[in-house]
Amino acid sequence: MSLLNFPCRLLAALAAALKMATLAIAAEVPFFTDNGYGNPVSSLQHPAAEHYQGVTYVAYQGPHEDPYVAAYNHATGKWTGPVQAGVNLMGKSPDQIDPSELDNHGKPALVIDRKGYIHLVFGSHGGDPKFGKNPLGEFFMGTKGKMTHVVSQKPGDISAWRVVDNLPPFGTYNQWVKFPSGDLYLFYRHGGHRSDWVYQKSTNDGLTFSAPVSVLKHKVSSASPAINDSWYAWFEPGLGETITASYVYHPCANPKHNAHRQNVYFMQMNARDGNWTNVQGDRLTLPVTKESADRFTLIEATGTVRSTHGTCHVDANGYPHVAFPVGRDIRYYRWDGKAWQKPVSVGAGHGRVGDGDFIVDSPLSVRMILSTEHDGDNEIGWWNTEDGGLTWTKGNILISSKVLSFGTTAIVRNAHPDAVMLLGSRDATEPHLYRRMFLVGARGPLGRLAAEASQLGDRLEAIKSLPPPNRAKAEAKKKKKLGLDDEDP
């Protein structure tokens, strides 16, 4: 039968159905992909994103815990990718639904060299013993994986990648520091808990790296043989040719692990000569021990109150500003040239405050992005101070949801105003471990067409038909085995 013989009513219904289908395909969603996996991002592996020549490149943990990369062109408003950039040896079934089966420590850190090639380092939680002896750390608590370095085959092109086997296999919490000169520094923990924090330097765009240099020393504690001195650290460019380090102490119990971290510290490196000093300029002996850290670099002793790795940035004077999660707060500290200003809790009274990062506009003007939960709303938004952190006011909200919660990264390197932070989301009602990924900035999330953002297709429906795991039991098992959460162990 030809369409000419169709009743007008049926033709109208067919046209309406086709229109609805077209609109559904063309509809825009606020996320750029739905294949983030487990805990796909963290502020500890950083940066996870960089803006370069009009494009923001983002990296996150996708299916099988493998690294994925996507790119947003600010001129065209179009997304490219995501593309799988490598293989994480710790990955299991890509459709795993039991969170206790994921490691989540092999998330990628991204940097772009002066020629425009994109580098990722990922894939290790201390390194598998099969790769040999770790000279700067111990195999502890099921260390596994292999620290892997991949580079894009063409500048600015995420479509193809190659492995560059020029790093030890033992890294955890990879962090890139890049100087305007093009020099690259890779900081990481050289193994499991009981391992030194080290850096390796490249002066030829990641083709080769210098041998690891130990910065923070792991050892049996002088206070008790049942404790091992361990650390969680965050490294960032300072003023000129300097690198800052903000860190917390982890009294790692022997023979089993505990989740406690305490105290907050700061020091910095002069990259011209490799010397490290405290904030007063006193030279430190490397690697820094617990005794030396307490004497020369301590900002605040938190005692039994748990602290977590913080972020650090400097102002035009080179003075550090740092923010650490301490207890249930985010505490902001500022060096005024003579002393550390008394810490202030940012976002106090506005519900649960999570992780975040900040931008220093001047010695007294700072903008901080925080994750907060208040009256059922999960928000990612700005908090601002104009008096050096003595008081803070709530600013614009970048994204909010009553259903989704958000995991944050460090602020995008060289961020475009429209793309300042990469986020992974979680819907607690979903019976799977896939996460929607968001890139947010001044215009909110930079979304895309639903058909382009959907990477999983019918896989989610198949997963939903599986019996859900006992999440409470799985989480309790993980906490007992590894500590409080899967970011810090």
Does 74 qualify as catalytic in the annotation? no
Question: Among 51, 105, 313, 321, which one carries the catalytic annotation?
Answer: 105
Q: Answer positive or negative: Cα dihedral of 60, 356, 265, 206.
A: positive
Question: Among 52, 68, 72, 173, which one carries the catalytic annotation?
Answer: 173
Does 173 qualify as catalytic in the annotation? yes
Catalytically active residues are 105, 173
